[in-house]
Structure 1
Amino acid sequence: MSTRKSLHLATALIAVSGLALTACSSGTTPSETTQSGSQSAAGSSNAPAQDGDRLLGIVSITATDSNNARVIAGATEAAEAAGWKVEVVDAQGNADTANAAIRNFVSKEADAVFDLVFPVTSLGAGLQATQDAGIPVATWGGGLGDGVVMTTGDGAPFAEPATQALIDDMGGKGSVLALTYRTGQVCRDREGVFDEMLKEYPDITVTKSEVNIPGFLQDGARHATAWLAAHPEGSENLAIWGCWEDPTLGAISALQQQGRTDVLTYGINGSSAAIKAVQDGTLTATVYEDGKGEGAKMFEVVQDAIEAGDSWEQQTIDVPGILVTADNVESFLEDHPEALQ
Structure 2
Amino acid sequence: MSLTKSLRMAVAALAVGALSLTACSQGTPTDSSSPQPAAGGSSSSAGGGQQGGQLLGIVSITATDSNNARVIAGATEAAEAAGWKVEVVDAQGNADTANAAIRNFVSKKAGAIFDLVFPVSSLGAGLQAAKDAKIPVATWGGGLGDGVVMTTGDGGPFAEPATQAMLDELGDSGSVLALTYRGGQVCRDREAVFDEMLADHPDIKITKSEVTIPGFLQDGARHATAWLAAHPAGSEKLAIWGCWEDPTLGAISALQQQGRDDVLTYGINGSSTAIKAVQDGTLTATVYEDGKGEGAKMFEVVQEAIQAGDSWEQQTLDVPGVLVTADTVDDFLKEHPEALQ
**1:240-294 CA deviation, whole Å, 9 max, x = no partner?**
0000000000000000000000000000000000000000000000000000000
Provide the residue aligned with 2:64 in structure 1: 64
Q: How does the TM-score come out when normalised to structure 1?
A: 0.87
**1:60-95 CA deviation, whole Å, 9 max, x = no partner?**
000000000000000000000001000000000000
Provide the residue aligned with 2:268 in structure 1: 268
Provide the residue aligned with 2:96 in structure 1: 96
Would you say 1:330 and 2:330 are equivalent positions?
yes
Q: CA RMSD in A?
A: 1.5
Partner Cα distance (1:271, 1:174) in 2: 28
1:319 Cα deviation from its structure 2 partner: 1.0
For 1:1-341, list aligned pairs within 5 A.
25-27=25-27, 43-44=45-46, 46-49=48-51, 54-341=54-341
1:28 Cα deviation from its structure 2 partner: 6.5
Q: Which amino acid aligns with 1:307?
A: Q
Q: Which amino acid aligns with 2:331?
A: S
Partner Cα distance (1:135, 1:26) in 2: 23
Secondary structure class of the residue paired with 2:261: coil
Gaps of 5+ in 2: 1-20, 30-43
Confirm or deny: 8 A CA contact 2:47 2:309 kept in the other structure: no
Partner Cα distance (1:140, 1:312) in 2: 18
Partner Cα distance (2:260, 2:125) in 1: 47
Q: Which amino acid aligns with 1:149?
A: V
1:160 Cα deviation from its structure 2 partner: 0.1
Partner Cα distance (1:125, 1:28) in 2: 25
Q: How does the TM-score come out when normalised to structure 2?
A: 0.87
1:46 Cα deviation from its structure 2 partner: 3.7
1:121 Cα deviation from its structure 2 partner: 0.2
Gaps of 5+ in 1: 1-21, 30-41
Partner Cα distance (2:27, 2:305) in 1: 29
Instruction: Using the aligned pairs only, state the percent identity.
Output: 84
Partner Cα distance (1:278, 1:45) in 2: 44
Higher helix proportion, which one?
Answer: 2
Partner Cα distance (2:242, 2:231) in 1: 18
1:26 Cα deviation from its structure 2 partner: 4.7
Secondary structure class of the residue paired with 2:115: strand
Partner Cα distance (1:272, 1:309) in 2: 38
Divergent runs of 4+, >6 A: none
Secondary structure class of the residue paired with 2:56: strand
Confirm or deny: 8 A CA contact 2:177 2:240 kept in the other structure: yes
Aligned residues: 306
**1:11-49 CA deviation, whole Å, 9 max, x = no partner?**
xxxxxxxxxxx99635369xxxxxxxxxxxx83364552
1:203 Cα deviation from its structure 2 partner: 1.2
Q: Which amino acid aligns with 1:102?
A: I
